[in-house]
């Protein structure tokens, strides 16, 4: 007989979906939007770091003796509009005289000049240690070279941008938002996979419990007294083994066990008599029956 587990043990209630993945996703989107909006509003303050007139620490003018002291770093030399008329040389000051030339090969992450005035980068000076520099300027035209050379320490500007609270706050909001958005989306996808798995399992259980060919699952695993009484009296069909009948090993003989069909005995309890006038009983028992 087929055993049926109680339906209540199989159909367990699904675990409620956590609302936190959606909250994390929405929070990340809000933080990223606030960060981008803050960067847009503070754009004017950030442009100060790209204006050589604001970031320069030294200047050199044509027609003057220009001796400046530069700290270690990559110094960017800018001039307004054009540098086509400028012929500039940079030398270390040694014993109050011009010494060796300053290396002009360095790189910095400082942002390019981006203001309402066009600036041109003349060169970049690689200063290894604090040094006094002699700047010699010659002009190829008589009425040119009116704008001064501006010296900006690119490494110092980058450090100032990184440590500026007005830049760190929006950047932090954007960073946290860009982390929370994919995290929330991943958690939502995991929850959807679990919900789909639970739904499929419940459908499979319901399908397994559906009656097949009119067969109804038993209400109770132990038969009742009435069912036992009917089973003993032969009023209920006895379940038979559903296995296949295997033929015998001999081709000319069927050795399979056959169950004889049950025969019912009914009708009157009186049996017919075999005595006739031609074949009367040999004793006097019929007289006793007649007298009775």
Three-state secondary structure call for residue 238: coil
b/e sequence 220-240, b meaning 16+ C-beta within 10 Å: eeeeeeeeeeeeeeeeeeeee
Whether residue 178 contacts residue 32, with contact meaning beta carbons closer than 8 Å, is answered with yes
Residue 72 lies in a domain: yes
Whether 189 is in a domain gets the answer: no
Secondary structure class of 90 (helix, strand, coil): strand
* Cα gap 180→244, rounded to integer Å: 62
Residue 195, pLDDT score: 66
Q: Classify the phi-psi angles of 137: left when phi > 0, otherwise alpha if psi is within -120 to 50, otherwise beta.
A: beta
Q: CA-CA distance, 99 to 286, in Å (whole number)?
A: 165
pLDDT < 50 regions, the chain: 1-11, 214-217, 219-220, 242-243, 266-268
Domain assignment present for residue 180? The answer is no
Q: What is the model's pLDDT at position 1?
A: 45
Condensed to tens digits (0 to 9), the pLDDT of residues 113-165 reads 777 788 999 999 999 999 999 999 999 888 888 899 999 999 999 888 888 88
β-pairing verdict for 149-153 and 131-139: unpaired
Looking at residue 274, what is its pLDDT?
64
* 49 close to 115: Cβ distance less than 8 angstroms: no
pTM over 0.85: no
Number of domains in the chain: 1
Residue 147 within a domain: yes
Token pair belonging to 170: 């929006």
Looking at the domain assignment, is residue 201 inside a domain?
A: no
What CA dihedral angle connects 75, 80, 82 and 86, to 10 degrees? -60
Which residues make beta-bridge pairs with 153? 75
Does residue 79 fall inside a structural domain?
yes
Strand partners, 276: 279
Q: What is the pLDDT of residue 68?
A: 93
Instruction: State both tokens at 109.
Output: 């992450």
Tell me the CA end-to-end span of the chain in Å, nearest whole number. Answer: 58
pLDDT reported for residue 64: 87
pLDDT at 111: 80
Residues paired with 94 in a beta bridge: 97
User: Would you say 181 and 33 are in contact if contact means Cβ atoms under 8 Å apart?
Assistant: no
Domain range for 76 is: 51-160
Pairing label, strands 86-94, 58-60: unpaired
**Beta bridge partner(s), residue 119:** 80
277 in a structural domain: no
Is residue 28 a part of any domain in this protein? no
């Amino acid at each position: 007989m087929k055993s049926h587990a109680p339906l209540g043990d199989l159909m367990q209630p699904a675990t409620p979906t956590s609302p936190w993945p959606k909250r994390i996703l929405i929070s990340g989107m809000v933080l990223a939007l606030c960060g981008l909006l803050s960067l847009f509003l503070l754009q004017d303050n950030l442009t100060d770091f790209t204006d050589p007139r604001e970031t320069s620490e030294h200047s050199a003018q044509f027609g003057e003796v220009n001796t400046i002291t530069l700290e270690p770093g990559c110094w960017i030399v800018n001039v307004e509009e054009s540098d086509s008329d400028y012929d500039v040389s940079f030398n270390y000051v040694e014993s109050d005289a011009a010494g060796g030339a300053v290396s002009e090969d360095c790189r910095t992450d400082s942002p390019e000049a981006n203001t309402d005035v066009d600036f041109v980068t003349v060169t970049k000076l690689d200063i290894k240690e604090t040094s006094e520099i002699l700047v010699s300027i010659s002009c190829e035209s008589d009425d040119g070279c009116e704008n001064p050379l501006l010296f900006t320490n690119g490494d110092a500007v980058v450090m100032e941008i990184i440590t500026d609270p007005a830049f760190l706050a929006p950047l932090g909001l954007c960073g946290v938002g860009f982390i929370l958005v994919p995290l929330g989306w991943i958690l939502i996808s995991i929850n959807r996979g679990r919900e789909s798995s639970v739904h499929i399992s419940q459908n499979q259980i319901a399908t397994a419990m559906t009656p097949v060919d009119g067969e109804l699952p038993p209400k109770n695993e132990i038969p009742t007294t009435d069912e036992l009484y009917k089973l003993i009296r032969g009023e209920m069909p006895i379940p038979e083994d559903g296995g296949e009948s295997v033929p015998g090993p001999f081709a000319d003989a069927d050795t399979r066990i056959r169950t004889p069909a049950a025969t019912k005995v009914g009708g009157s309890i009186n049996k017919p008599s075999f005595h006739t006038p031609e074949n009367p009983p040999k004793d006097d028992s019929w007289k006793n029956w007649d007298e009775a």
